[in-house]
Structure 1
Amino acid sequence: MKSKKRLALFTVVAVIQLAIVLYMAWQWEDILQTGQRFEWETAPVDPYDAFKGRYIDLGFKERSGPVMDNAKFAYGQKAYAIIGKNADGKAIISGVSAKQPAGKPYVKVKVTYVENGKAHVQLPFRRYYLPEHWAALAETAYRESAGKTGVAAVRLKNGYGVVEELYIGDKTLDEYLRNSLSKK
């Protein structure tokens, strides 16, 4: 009898652990499949620390927005960046609030500082992962294009964001690298 209870308890714990791991993976895939898409202009990055392992460390031009609701933010405080689009269709932070917005696309952020009524924030999506064999070429291509033609397509849903694709000019990074290799 005692061993049956242990087996049942073990089974329940194992199922719960498996469910948690599966949910964590599903959450990010769900954002990629059903999240609202925004295109963020990338900014130049430190050329000495732009690429680590198998990802590109992304920097973004748009990192601040007006403080909403007269909120008082401290360094590192969690906040909500409300996302909109500019005339070119690129993502902008239309406001930073201490309260979760209803009915508007937003992403959870950390406030780095506030100056002249604008909250500067740290966006939660800063890495673009790619296959190992593209690493050196991707680092060079991204560094050369950052701030000029680099755009990251990011999907947002329920305050979370996932980088879907990186573009250089009008081509995806993959297309850009394949074209670069075929020209050599």
Structure 2
Amino acid sequence: MKSKKIIFILFLLVAILQLLAPTKMIYDQENTLKNGKALKFLTEPIDPNDPFRGKYIRMNYDINSFNTKDTIWERKQEIYVYLNDSLGFATLKTVSKTKLEIDNNYVKAEVSWYDNYNNKLRFNLPFDRFYMEESKAKPAEDLVRINNRRDSLKTNITFAMVYLNDDKFVLENVFINDVSIKYLVGK
């Protein structure tokens, strides 16, 4: 009888833990959306597919490098990218190997490489995938690609709306000329 109680209590603990994990993930995302700083990141197109997580638009941002004379950077090294808000759009303030106490408009990124010739540090921002319903991902990607061509950049602005809150981020949506990509492909 006592072993049945122990098994039942263990079962309840495991069930509670399984509910807490996704609840914490949802809470973190909602908290970032509610309390985070919204910044727009200008994009460039790329199209991939993830067999485990589904179809997505690969987001490539125009903020992907930083001029620096510091040549000691390791590939895949975690760095802190600090951002300014310039009329709602993200601009690069500075990059650091350690967390600075200047503000909370930052994101942890990963070093791609250091270009010694141009003294540029190249990095990848972590919010580079915007997942969509499978039937809409390809048309959305095509739309983003068409609107990011050099000749259409004069009339069309494609950007990702990202919320930042300390080291958390949420890629909320992708827009073309302030219209949601979900709306544009859902027409």
Q: Which category describes the TM-score, using the shorter chain as reference length?
A: 0.7 to 0.9
- Is the aligned partner of 1:77 residue 2:77? yes
Q: Compared with structure 1, are the counterparts of its residues 146 and 161 closer, same or farther at alpha carbon in structure 2 (3 Å cutoff)?
A: farther
Report the alpha carbon displacement of residue 82 of structure 1 after superposing the two structures with TM: 0.7
Deviations 1:17-54 (A, max 9, x none): 32122212322232223221010000243xxxx14343
Give me the TM-score of the superposition, normalised by structure 1: 0.80
Instruction: Give the AA of the match of 1:121.
Output: F
Instruction: Give the AA of the match of 2:34.
Output: Q
**SS at structure 1 position matched to 2:38:** strand
What RMSD over aligned residues (CA atoms) do the two structures have, in Å?
2.4
CA contact (8 A) 1:67 1:95 kept: no
Equivalent residue runs for 1:87-126 within 5 Å: 88-102=87-101, 103-115=103-115, 116-126=118-128
**SS at structure 1 position matched to 2:60:** coil
What corresponds to 1:163 in structure 2? 171
- For structure 1, which segment, 154-163 or 168-177, has the greater mean C-alpha deviation from structure 2 after superposition? 168-177
- Structure 2: gaps of 5 or more residues: none
- For structure 1, which segment, 50-59 or 122-131, has the greater mean C-alpha deviation from structure 2 after superposition? 50-59
**SS at structure 1 position matched to 2:121:** strand
- Structure 1: gaps of 5 or more residues: none
Q: Which of the numbers 110, 113, 132 marks the counterpart of 2:134?
A: 132
Q: Compared with structure 1, are the counterparts of its residues 33 and 71 closer, same or farther at alpha carbon in structure 2 (3 Å cutoff)?
A: farther
CA contact (8 A) 2:76 2:110 kept: yes
Give me the TM-score of the superposition, normalised by structure 2: 0.79
Structure 1 CA distance for aligned equivalents of residues 68 and 167 of structure 2? 18
Structure 1 runs of 4+ aligned residues shifted over 6 Å read none
Structure 2 CA distance for aligned equivalents of residues 135 and 101 of structure 1? 37
Identity of aligned residues (%): 27
CA contact (8 A) 2:64 2:124 kept: yes
Report the alpha carbon displacement of residue 15 of structure 1 after superposing the two structures with TM: 1.4
CA contact (8 A) 1:40 1:153 kept: yes
Q: Which of the numbers 167, 171, 176 marks the counterpart of 2:184?
A: 176
Q: Compared with structure 1, are the counterparts of its residues 2 and 170 closer, same or farther at alpha carbon in structure 2 (3 Å cutoff)?
A: closer
What corresponds to 1:153 in structure 2? 161
Higher strand share: 2
